[in-house]
Structure 1
Amino acid sequence: MSLLDMVREAGVIGAGGAGFPTHAKLTSKAEYILLNGAECEPLLRVDQQLMKLFPDEIIKGFEAAGKLVGAAKGLIGIKGKHKEVISILRNRIKALQVSDFIEVKELPDIYPAGDEQVLVYELTGRVVPETGIPIKVGCVVVNTETALNIYHANLGEPVTEKYITVAGDIPKRLTVKVPVGTPIIDVLKLSGIENFDDYAVIDGGPMMGPVMDNIDGYVTKKNKGFVILKKQHSLIRRKSVNIEQARRVNRSSCEQCRMCTDMCPRYLLGHNMQPHKIMRALNYALDDVEGQKIAQLCCQCNLCELFSCPAGLYPKSANLYFKGKLAEQNIRYKPIKSQFAARKSREYRLIPSKRLIARLGLNNFDRPAPMTEVNMEPELVHIAMRQHVGAPAVPIVNPGDYVQVGQQVGKIPEDSLGAAVHASISGKVIESENGFIVIRRE
């Protein structure tokens, strides 16, 4: 079986949060393969620790993926502040005799260094076109944990566990490995908190992650971290504003200062993303569809909303509003050029992570979350059939069946983009409908 088939069978997806099936990405032919070790979201600590603990496995998985796409060079992007990890990686690259192919390049400590298009520019100097993906400029990007999973896939081991950081206003900050399908509440309680009535939970990083409506869900292969904060924290209050509330606030106060645009990472890469124009269209009920289309260039990094706007308005919400309206009408933005260059002002408008953390009110919680071994053995796991981009997996087991950990329980539908899913514990299948396969440990 080829590596591509093994990655497909193992159910490897983008572990950084996007969830794109990795086997589909690795069918491309590229000049560069890039490892995204930036982990630019405040408080999250998974990737930097994985590179320290499993450097050989990550390097080998990354190298294998690079050869699969025919890359001439593999570049590992990691923030320069992680000096110990950088030293470990460089030493192991040399020891594994792959220095001619793989190189570590240091990234500035900025947000969003981990945005794919920002990463491509920082590592190669190339700008991904509007509405494009990295392969448009000869690059394929994989996440650190994804590279680790590619290594395991090459050994015939599927993805059944997930690394997650639990951080925030909690007694115990930690990073753990848990079975896919574990109840989220069980992971949250590792923080030392038992009663969450006074707390809210952000699914992912504090910038892009949404506030969870409830905490009764289950861990998927896409989860990266959970940030727990008091409900009255300013970040929770801002992220809990819905689009209609945001529209009312925007209409009342926007003075068209352009700060949302001038600090936008995609605008600084030369794209036509201009949030202040979207705010103008919203506030004055402008019906210029062509002008609204640029909302589709938003990467939802949330800098405009949580950092740039001096009045504390909601430009990203305005972008989302028009994105939704245009999607309903099946209207898409079409670039008018194919070559892009970063704006000259970019180097002066990069956002330091420390400054961002202070603005978010998270200074007191920006602390280590060390990798911790926990005996996480849930009695029941709920394996979601849709925990990736594309079509949901099709169950191939039935209630009453006994399965072993690592056994495939959901397959990719014919002629569809998707990912296989596997049992994360051994036991008896008690349900295979409603989008989940539920397994009871035995």
Structure 2
Amino acid sequence: MRVNLIEQVNNAGVIGAGGAGFPTHVKLSATAEFILLNGAECEPLLRVDQQLMEIYPDEIILGFQSAGKAVGAKKAYLCIKEKHGKVISILRERIEALNASPFVEVTPLPDVYPAGDEQILVYTVTGRSVPEAGIPLNVGCVVINSETALNIFNASKGLPVTEKFITVAGDIPNRVTVKVPVGTPIMDVLKQSGLDSFDDYAVIDGGPMMGPVMTDLSGHVGKKHKGFVILKKDHSLIRKKTTTIEQARHINISACAQCRMCTDLCPRYLIGHNVEPHKSMRIQNYGLNDVEGKSHAQLCCMCNLCELFSCPAGLHPKLANDALRRDLAEQNIRYQASGNEPAARQNREYRQVPSKRLTARLGLSTYDKAAPLQEVVCAPEAVCIPIDSHVGAPAIPTVSVGDHVQAGQCIGVAAEGKLGAPVHSSIAGTVIGIENNHIAIRRG
């Protein structure tokens, strides 16, 4: 059964749907003591995972249970924020009805940011701190996203990944979650917001904390996309997120008082990691040639909490970290981790950031509303399917221009001997182009 499921997941092109894009069949090939379903969805305004668990509880539970059996886990923790009481009740009822208990159990999470960071999730649920520069498997855990669990279930039924669930939120008339074919023009998704023109708006690809501001709206939906947050260009969050590393250095050096707030609230620091953004500020501001001191910047999980919440002066610790990471990459220097499990800081429980407080600080409270999953089907005339939206090597096309393909047909396979995943056509139609790591297909 283990081998069969792993093959099915691989053949279906399942990758991490929460944004990381790591090929799921590789995760399921490991052996772990615990498997965790990450349904925290801790980024403000995003609404995909919580709705999927309410609408498709059986499929997600069964897919998660199968994944847990595949890795040989002794326990499967389905993790969701405690504030979603209705969804928790549904999940617990269906777990019993499906005879998935006691192997699968619901684990409520505090409503804090970043509860969905996989290393924070592992510590919250198991009390184990993932080693610096390590992965959950180092402490006997495998983590998958709730949409990924749904895709695992579908893969077990022979269905490949051809659709994506995306939340469209922000300063818009129509906040909504949609299901679209992979390869759909992003502009088609954005127009579900009720806006016709985006001249006065900026779009964040993903959540408002970690997502970058898009410089080009002409792209296409890949298997990693999770949401789009649309805000006026003059919104304070957009101004902050479009600051460059060079601009940030001038701002940082003029006002940083080394107060340590960026470090004291850093979630990875609080589980024992040696990441201290206030030191990154010091090193960058004064041009210190401290290679060992710089290398801790590589432990940053890029949650952006230091930059968008913690700093009382509104400075840019995360961009200082980014500058040091860039310098280290150019010098081919990597952090030398001990490999030992670190001890969490004693004051961690008092330094977690409530989601509502974070949302208010971002200036997004007005837009923190439901984004219901709509039944309207998005049917673009043509799709442009990325063959490199996963971690690893791009898929190798198995079709040519002019070929007619069916929905669900494999159109690209993983490169031999390399990390990757296959891709499938999301519509029936004719291949009209293969370039720039995309396969374009016209419907009909």
Which TM-score applies when normalising by structure 2? Answer: 0.99
Which of 143, 159, 165 is the matching residue for 1:163? Answer: 165
The code of the aligned residue for 2:143 comes to V
Which residue of structure 2 aligns with residue 81 of structure 1?
83
Q: CA deviation at 1:433?
A: 2.2
Alignment of 1:36-435 (within 5 A): 36-336=38-338, 338-435=340-437
Aligned residues with identical type, % of pairs:
67
Preserved contact between residue 280 and residue 320 of structure 2 (Cα < 8 Å)? yes
Provide the rounded CA distance (Å) in 2 between the counterparts of 1:160 and 1:314: 39
Provide the rounded CA distance (Å) in 2 between the counterparts of 1:247 and 1:42: 28
Range moving further from structure 2, 431-440 or 63-72: 431-440
Query: Secondary structure of 2:435's match?
Result: coil
Provide the rounded CA distance (Å) in 2 between the counterparts of 1:44 and 1:11: 24
Query: Secondary structure of 1:294's match?
Result: helix
Provide the rounded CA distance (Å) in 1 between the counterparts of 2:256 and 2:109: 34
Q: CA deviation at 1:434?
A: 2.1
The code of the aligned residue for 1:66 comes to G
* Deviant stretches of 4+, over 2 Å: none
Query: Secondary structure of 1:165's match?
Result: strand
Unaligned runs of 5+ residues in structure 1 are none
Provide the rounded CA distance (Å) in 2 between the counterparts of 1:378 and 1:98: 39
Deviations 1:148-193 (CA, angstroms, capped at 9, x unpaired): 0000000000000000000000000010100000000000001000
Q: CA deviation at 1:375?
A: 2.6
Provide the rounded CA distance (Å) in 1 between the counterparts of 2:421 and 2:377: 28
Aligned length: 442
Deviations 1:102-122 (CA, angstroms, capped at 9, x unpaired): 010110000000000000011
Provide the rounded CA distance (Å) in 2 between the counterparts of 1:252 and 1:388: 40
Provide the rounded CA distance (Å) in 2 between the counterparts of 1:364 and 1:202: 17
The code of the aligned residue for 1:109 comes to D
Deviations 1:9-48 (CA, angstroms, capped at 9, x unpaired): 1000000001001011111100000000000000000000
Provide the rounded CA distance (Å) in 2 between the counterparts of 1:315 and 1:423: 42
Q: Give the superposed CA RMSD.
A: 0.7
Which residue of structure 1 aligns with residue 10 of structure 2?
8
Query: Secondary structure of 1:432's match?
Result: strand
Range moving further from structure 2, 327-336 or 138-147: 327-336
The code of the aligned residue for 1:72 comes to K
Provide the rounded CA distance (Å) in 2 between the counterparts of 1:41 and 1:284: 33
Preserved contact between residue 132 and residue 338 of structure 2 (Cα < 8 Å)? no
Q: CA deviation at 1:254?
A: 0.7
Provide the rounded CA distance (Å) in 2 between the counterparts of 1:304 and 1:60: 38
Q: CA deviation at 1:336?
A: 3.4
Provide the rounded CA distance (Å) in 2 between the counterparts of 1:281 and 1:292: 7
Deviations 1:57-77 (CA, angstroms, capped at 9, x unpaired): 000000000000000000011
Query: Secondary structure of 1:132's match?
Result: coil
Query: Secondary structure of 1:409's match?
Result: strand
Query: Secondary structure of 1:131's match?
Result: coil
Provide the rounded CA distance (Å) in 2 between the counterparts of 1:424 and 1:243: 39
Query: Secondary structure of 1:176's match?
Result: strand
The code of the aligned residue for 2:281 comes to M
The code of the aligned residue for 1:294 comes to H
Query: Secondary structure of 2:69's match?
Result: helix
Deviations 1:393-440 (CA, angstroms, capped at 9, x unpaired): 111100010000000001100000011100000000011222110000
Preserved contact between residue 134 and residue 339 of structure 2 (Cα < 8 Å)? no
Provide the rounded CA distance (Å) in 1 between the counterparts of 2:441 and 2:380: 10
Q: CA deviation at 1:337?
A: 5.5
The code of the aligned residue for 2:100 comes to V
Q: CA deviation at 1:330?
A: 1.2
1:21 aligns with 2:33: no
Preserved contact between residue 393 and residue 418 of structure 2 (Cα < 8 Å)? yes
The code of the aligned residue for 2:424 comes to H
Which TM-score applies when normalising by structure 1? Answer: 0.99
